[in-house]
Each structure stands twice: as C-alpha cells, then as structure tokens.
Amino acid sequence: MRVKGKRIINTEEAAEFSNTVRGQYIISHALVLGIEKLKKYEDKDSPLYNFRKSEVSDRKDMEHLLDAFPLYRIHQNEAWYPKEVEKVEE
C-alpha cells in the first residue's frame, strides 16, 4: 500500500480499474447498495433498526460520493423506470 497524491493505493491495477467506466460503474453500484442498506438501519419500522447503530453521516457521505459516480443510478432508473413508449397510431 502506498500514498499517491491524495489517494491510498493497494494495487496499481485496482487504481487503474477505478478510473475506467466499468470501475466507476462498480463503485456506483456499491454505493447504491450501501445507501439502501444504511437506510434500512435508520428506518424505525425496519427489523434492522435495533440491530446496528447507523451513522447518518456515513450514508450522507456515500450519497455525496454517488454524485461523483452516478453511473449505476442512471442505469437503475432506466432499467426500473423506462420512459413511456410512444404508441403508434394505426
């Protein structure tokens, strides 16, 4: 592990991968899943509420990072909420 600028890098391959579109997509996906999970820990109606104390600031920081890595959120919205297909009149 070494420090490169402001980044801590475990391997050069991982650092290079994080700069690719696929790497940013994976980071984005992980952030989306993490945010969803942390929200469940914060929801008083969730069975997970008393299981683990969640720091709201962690979730908010992840949401901030998601602004920098939005690829999965964009894909997720298109996959689950596709635009209405225009009907062609016959």
Neighbouring residues of 4: CB distance < 8 A, sequence distance ≥ 6: 15
Give residue 50's pLDDT: 66
More confident residue, 10 or 18: 18
Q: Read off the pLDDT of residues 59-77 as tens digits, 9 standing for 90 and up.
A: 899 999 999 998 888 776 6
Predicted TM-score (pTM) of this structure: 0.70
Sorted by where each begins, the domain ranges of the chain are: 17-80
Nearest to 5 by CA among 13, 15, 14: 15
Could you give the CA distance from residue 19 to residue 28 in angstroms, rounded to a whole number? 12
